[in-house]
Structure 1
Amino acid sequence: MEVHKKIAVIGTGNLGNAIVEGMIESQKFSADNIIATRRQTHLIDSLQQKGVHTTSDNCQAVRESHIVILAVQPKQLEQILHEIADDLHEDHIIVSVITGVAIEQIGRLLSKPIAIVRAMPNTAIAIKQSMTCIAHRNVSPDSLSEVQSIFDTLGKTLIIDEELMAAATVLGACGIAFFMRFIRAASQGGIEVGFHAEEAQLIAAQTAKGAASLLLAHHTHPEQEIDKVTTPQGCTIAGLNEMEHNGLSSALIKGVKASFNRIADIT
């Protein structure tokens, strides 16, 4: 079923662009119902060519929409909210995908009773494979459902307490880079054992996709799936043990914690 509510994306940079591309790709949203803003509109000409309304006028975008997705930089938030405040009304739903900005902070800057939702997607939203964590405060079930319906078409969603949003950012958003680095390392290993670079990357990427799909489809623990692959004195357990001896799991855990600590430093 197509969603007919007008949606404005304020600040169509990398993430905002990915959200718009993902909505169009899902075929649940008509490009004609999406308004994308950017100061330099020529940078989003590709969206305009797909039927999206593009403009540098944030106020116009807000006036013509029901759901307003804020995808600007944290330092731009106060200026943007001051700019659009007069055009926001109680029927609007604000969705913030801005890292490190609390719902309370947005509410304080607006000083009017508007539904506010925080969402933390990742860049896989452009291919409808995002993991999006959603938090809210005093938002009606209907409004929350409207927001979740957007991100449900763009991957998987999870409603969490806002206190966990920094952790969700690390595991879900930064996590894209972590898994990319693992795939890159696996590809380099594949080159060492005889594959050309593009062949090694294809095998590593598809295998990673398959591993994740097994967990999502079977709802199993990773160790259960690992046990299906390992055999006594086999090559799989030899490789796993060598990786663990060199700190694979420990390095990943430390990396997640380091990213989490850095978020605490910058927010």
Structure 2
Amino acid sequence: MAEQAKEPRVLIFGTGTIGGGIAKILSKKTKPLLYDRDFLKAEALAKEFGCIAVKTKDEGLSQAEFIILCVKPQDLNQTALEIRGRLKKEHVIISVLAGVSIEKLQGAFGTNKIVRATLNLPSLYASGLIGLVAHEATTEWERHQSENLFKKMGHVIWLNEGRIDALTALSGSGPAFLLVYYEAMVDAGIALGIPVDLGKKIAQETLSGTMEMIKQSKKHPGELRWQIASPAGCTIAGLKQLEDESLRSAVINIFLATHDRIKDFD
């Protein structure tokens, strides 16, 4: 297959939450193929997003160059049995399966044209962080095209596979922990007499504005914090309470516990 400037045809294999979310994002600029054991499910998504549903694996594989594997990890072996013999040497498999290594994917599918992708939930809203790892046998063009696909979903970083679990803990699970903080801010607002809808707006804008400030200022968070906390003021009183409650230590321990649990799946 010639390495061309055009975008490759993509087959999304599995149209659950992740597969459907990827289809929604990619369909804004291209028409990915969708395959699911439940054809009606794939067909409904295709109609909704302007994609193309295929009835059989062969129909999808014969047209696609890149296969985004979105099945459940427990369905990996069965899926591999079904398509391993149908793969061509030019097919590239992109796996979004959590906890499944490139080595295991290589053994299951009998190919080394493999890219492993780690997404977080914001990726399905085109605001995510996507980590990519590629087998050394993939070409520069294949890696470039893989990156281009996921750039539509957010910011892409390349890393070695040994850091995937850490990325999953920080960026994959991290949004859940931030959502708890967001909820707590809204609850605090209620306790202070702020209506829920207004409290949500205040919390959202405060959190997003703070992140934008960090990006634009390029200053250390501690330096920015000192700009907010005036001597003997209300902010330093709150910061003292934060330290008394050991929030910093709790946050670190939350991520370490998450990482330990991820390791249990390896």
The answer to whether the superposition gives a TM-score over 0.5 is: yes
> How far did residue 185 of structure 1 move?
0.9
Normalising by the residue count of structure 1, what TM-score does the alignment of the two structures yield? 0.91
Deviations 1:99-157 (A, max 9, x none): 10000111111223x41111101111122101111112212221111111111221111
Within 5 Å, give how 1:97-176 maps onto structure 2.
97-112=96-111, 114-138=112-136, 139-176=138-175
1:11 alignment partner in structure 2: 14
- Relative to structure 1, the CA distance from residue 248 to residue 128 in structure 2 (aligned partners, 3 Å threshold; closer, same or farther) is same
Name the SS for the 1:89 alignment partner: coil
Residue equivalent to 1:242: 241
What is the CA deviation profile of residues 19-71 of structure 1, one whole-angstrom value per residue up to 9, with x for unaligned ones? 222223xx4x22xx201222334445144222111245333222221111111
CA distance in structure 2 between the aligned counterparts of 1:90 and 1:217, rounded to whole angstroms: 45
Q: Deviations over 1:66-110 (max 9, x none)?
A: 111111111111111121112211211111111100001111112
**Aligned positions of 1:55-70 closer than 5 A:** 55=54, 57-70=56-69
Amino acid at match of 2:135: R
Q: With structure 2 as the length reference, what TM-score do the two structures score?
A: 0.91
Q: Does 1:36 find its partner at 2:34? A: yes
* CA RMSD, Structure 1 to Structure 2 (Å): 1.8
SS in 2 for 1:100: coil
- 1:3: how far off? 6.2
- 1:73 lines up with 2:76 in the alignment: no
**CA 1:123–1:41 in 2, change beyond 3 Å: closer, same or farther?**
farther
Moved more, 137-146 or 57-66: 57-66
Q: Percent identity?
A: 25
Tell me if structure 1 keeps the 8 A contact 2:61–2:86.
yes
Select between 86-95 and 41-50 the one with higher mean Cα deviation: 41-50
Aligned residue pair count: 260
Alignment of 1:205-224 (within 5 A): 205-224=204-223
AA matched with 1:135: V
Q: Give the unaligned 5+ runs of structure 2.
A: none
Runs of 4+ in 1 over 4 A off after TM superposition: none
- Contact kept? 1:63, 1:88, Cα under 8 Å: no
Task: State the AA in 1 paired with 2:140.
Answer: P
Residue pair 2:7, 2:145 contacting (<8 A) in 1 also: no
Change (3 A) 1:63 1:215: farther
Which structure's CA Rg is the greater one?
2
For residues 39 and 219 of structure 1, the distance between their equivalents in structure 2, rounded to whole angstroms, comes to: 48
Q: Tell me which amino acid in the other structure corresponds to 1:18.
A: G
CA-CA distance at 1:216 after TM superposition = 2.8
Measure, in 1, the Cα distance between the counterparts of 2:38 and 2:249. Answer: 44
Q: What is the CA–CA distance in structure 2 between the aligned matches of 1:47 and 1:241, rounded to whole Å?
A: 53
CA deviation map 1:235-257 (0-9, x unaligned): 22221221221121111111111
CA distance in 1, matches of 2:46, 2:226: 46
- Does the CA contact (< 8 Å) of 2:69 and 2:94 recur in 1? yes
CA distance in 2, matches of 1:110, 1:85: 5
Find the residue that maps to 2:173 and give its secondary structure: helix
In structure 1, runs of 5+ residues without a counterpart are none
Letter in 2 for 1:93: V
Write the distance in 2 (CA, Å) between the matches of 1:156 and 1:51.
24
Matches of 2:229 and 2:6 in 1, distance apart? 46
What's the CA shift for 1:209?
1.4
Taking the aligned partners of 1:162 and 1:221, their CA distance within structure 2 comes to 29
